[in-house]
């Protein structure tokens, strides 16, 4: 997603931040226990991740997806686990696997029974600062049992 700036001829005004619905693809896992866990998690997520990075409505499966800010930071609950052999990044005792993509970084929880993926645009310079407000809710999720992917 590219950001564009426009020049105004007389008094310039800041472009308002988008607040409309964000299209977040729904995760494919369909197990009833995953759906129930995701519904409970989404209800407990904060309304703000950082000043000005407020929660936004989503289209599609609002019981398993969430979004904040503009450009949108998105969350998907119940995705396939990321590479468990990758060295994790640990924030407040919660492990994440990160994957760099053009213009964004994917943060996936590790060692939780239900995997959560955050898709964060690189324009958020201190990505850990927008992830940390989510950690208390994420830490309420059950951990993965040994021997299970």
Q: How far is CA 104 from CA 30, 42, 107, 142, 148, in A?
A: 27, 22, 10, 28, 29
CA–CA separation, 145 and 71 (whole Å): 36
- CA pair distance 12, 96, nearest whole angstrom: 41
Q: What is the pLDDT of residues 79-137, one digit of tens each?
A: 998 887 889 999 999 999 999 999 999 999 999 999 999 999 999 999 999 999 999 99
Share of the chain above pLDDT 70, in %: 81
pTM (whole model) above 0.85: no
Q: What are phi and psi of 48, to 5 degrees?
A: -140, 135
Higher pLDDT, 23 or 13: 23
Q: Do 77 and 64 touch, CB atoms closer than 8 A?
A: yes
């Amino acid at each position: 997603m590219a950001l564009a700036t426009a020049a105004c001829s007389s008094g310039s005004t800041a472009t308002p931040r988008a607040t409309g619905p964000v299209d977040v693809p729904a995760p494919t896992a369909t197990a009833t226990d995953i759906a129930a866990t995701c519904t409970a998690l989404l209800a407990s997520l904060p309304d703000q991740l950082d000043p000005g990075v407020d929660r936004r409505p989503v289209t599609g499966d609002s019981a398993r997806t969430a979004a904040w800010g503009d450009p949108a930071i998105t969350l998907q609950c119940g995705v396939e686990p990321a590479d468990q052999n990758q060295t994790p990044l640990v924030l407040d005792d919660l492990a994440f696997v990160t994957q760099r993509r053009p213009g964004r970084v994917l943060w996936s929880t590790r060692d939780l029974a239900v995997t959560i993926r955050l898709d964060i645009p690189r324009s958020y310079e201190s990505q850990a600062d927008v992830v940390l407000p989510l950690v208390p809710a994420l830490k309420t999720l059950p951990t993965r049992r040994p021997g299970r992917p």
